[in-house]
Amino acid sequence: MIDPRLFSDESVNIDALKQKAYNGRWAEVEEGVIPLTAADPDFPVSSVITDAIIDYLKDGYLSYTPHTGLESFKESIARYINTYKDEEVDPKMVLPIDSAARGMYVIAESVLVPGDEVIVFDPVDYLFRESSLASGASITLFPAKVENDSIDLITLESYITKKTKMICLCNPHNPLGLVYSKEDLDHILTIANKYDLWIMNDEIWSDIVYGEKPFISILSLGKERNKKTLSVFGFSKSFGVAGLRAGALYAHEQEIFNTLVEKSHVKTTAGGIASLSQIGAMAALEKGRPWLEAFLTHLTSNRDYGAQRINAIKGLRCRTPQATYMFFVDISQTGMNSTEFAMRLKSEAKVAVVPGISKFFGPGAEGNVRICYATSRALLTEALDRMEDWVNKNLK
Ligand SMILES: Cc1ncc(COP(=O)(O)O)c(C=O)c1O
């Protein structure tokens, strides 16, 4: 039975977060500021994770683990993905890796050479762009215009050139909070197959989906069509374990899987995932699902409350996310750009949000800010109260 107090207002330990939560969050903002910034929950992780790590530590050994990860962990990952995401992943084709972010760099390094072009949606999380650039490729931005709660893909094919080597797919989409329909995925895969392109398929957000529109994996369209799809999954978003730096890569073809292993440097021990991270992530996958479901119930309630509050503020507008725990808020009617909005909101109203600047999401994010709601209802309410007062005073 899941403890109903897990996601209560009292469960957020701000003193601990001030010591431990970095990347634009509590440990990096000045006293009194509420950070609704990086996508990282304010709640302690499930006790199944901490118990498993403590138990592993009991005999005092922290030896090397197998180069390509603990067999039991690879099996857990495959079982979890196959159970919850209608995919058919072979544990032998799973590579545990030290973060989803690192996995994206490994994919890029495995398939790209200088001179290649990569299609990156605009906006999307900066890791797609950065991982591709690090491999010497150049980026072609595809403007991700949203029509009727879906990304309009009609012109995608016109962005392909002779040099295009890979399409990046963020499903569900950060920061737009959207999942792709089967038709959308079929469209992307048809183009990728036609031009013999790789797909970097990032499904790190696939557990944080609210159900109105289900998550569908591109891999559910069949192995044959997905020979060049390289997938990345992570645990940070689902289970609040970003500090473990744990993630996984998986593929369907042996040859490219071998290349992923080689480029990850796990065989030399220069790369690879810490034993405690594997143990913690494995416990989350094996026993953390009730915690995740309770988290989703809390998030649904915060999402509905927050979207309604934001849309009631004059000058602001946001969609109700289908997935992820971030609002992508259109602030263009305030007369401020996203940098001015975020900087002033932080200094004058003591609420930190992520500005929609190129560095984080691409140029197409301008006019928006991203607000994370994986926090308690009390903190979300206080932050929205402050934001509402501040916007009302400053609307140009
Ligand atoms: C789409 C996407 N991919 C990858 C990552 C990186 O995740 P991790 O910190 O677990 O490496 C993030 C983090 O926000 C993300 O949003």
3-state class (DSSP) for residue 355: strand
Question: Which of 254, 287, 320 marks a domain boundary?
Answer: 287
Domain assignment present for 252? yes
Rounded Cα–Cα distance for residues 288 and 293 (Å): 9
DSSP secondary structure letters along 102-129: HHHHHHHHHH--TT-EEEEEESS-HHHH
Domain assignment present for 53? no
Tell me the residue type at 277. S
Same domain, 278 and 295: no
Q: Which residue from 203, 251, 202, 205 is spatially nearest to 226, judged by alpha carbons?
A: 251
Spans in the chain with pLDDT lower than 70: 396
Tally of residues, the chain: 396
Q: How many Å lie between the centroid of ligand 1 and the Cα of residue 307?
A: 23
Which pLDDT value is given to residue 291?
A: 97
The response to whether residue 236 sits with its C-beta less than 6 Å from ligand 1 reads: yes
Same domain, 266 and 297: no
Supply the CATH number for residue 80's domain.
3.40.640.10
Rounded Cα–Cα distance for residues 289 and 117 (Å): 39
Same domain, 280 and 336: no
Q: How many Å lie between the centroid of ligand 1 and the Cα of residue 200?
A: 13
Which pLDDT value is given to residue 182?
A: 97
Q: How many Å lie between the centroid of ligand 1 and the Cα of residue 108?
A: 15
Rounded Cα–Cα distance for residues 322 and 172 (Å): 8
Which pLDDT value is given to residue 209?
A: 98
Structural domain range at position 299: 4-45+289-394
What angle separates helix 71-84 from helix 275-287, to the nearest 10 degrees? 30
Same domain, 139 and 249: yes
Same domain, 207 and 299: no
Q: How many Å lie between the centroid of ligand 1 and the Cα of residue 389?
A: 32
Burial category of 24 from C-beta neighbours within 10 Å (exposed 0-12, middle 13-18, buried 19 and up)? middle
Same domain, 268 and 312: no
Which pLDDT value is given to residue 396?
A: 63
- Domains held by the chain: number: 2
Which pLDDT value is given to residue 395?
A: 81
What is the pTM for the complete model shown?
0.97
The response to whether residue 176 sits with its C-beta less than 6 Å from ligand 1 reads: no
Q: Which residues fall within 8 angstroms of residue 16, CB to CB, at 6 or more apart? A: 44
Question: Which of 261, 287, 313 marks a domain boundary?
Answer: 287
Rounded Cα–Cα distance for residues 384 and 367 (Å): 19
Cα separations (Å) of 336 from 33, 330, 355, 371, 391? Answer: 21, 11, 11, 17, 11
Point out the ligand 1 atom lying closest to the alpha carbon of residue 246.
10
Same domain, 313 and 295: yes
The response to whether residue 97 sits with its C-beta less than 6 Å from ligand 1 reads: no
Give the up-direction half-sphere exposure of residue 81: CA atoms within 13 A in the CB hemisphere.
Answer: 30
Question: Which of 246, 270, 287 marks a domain boundary?
Answer: 287
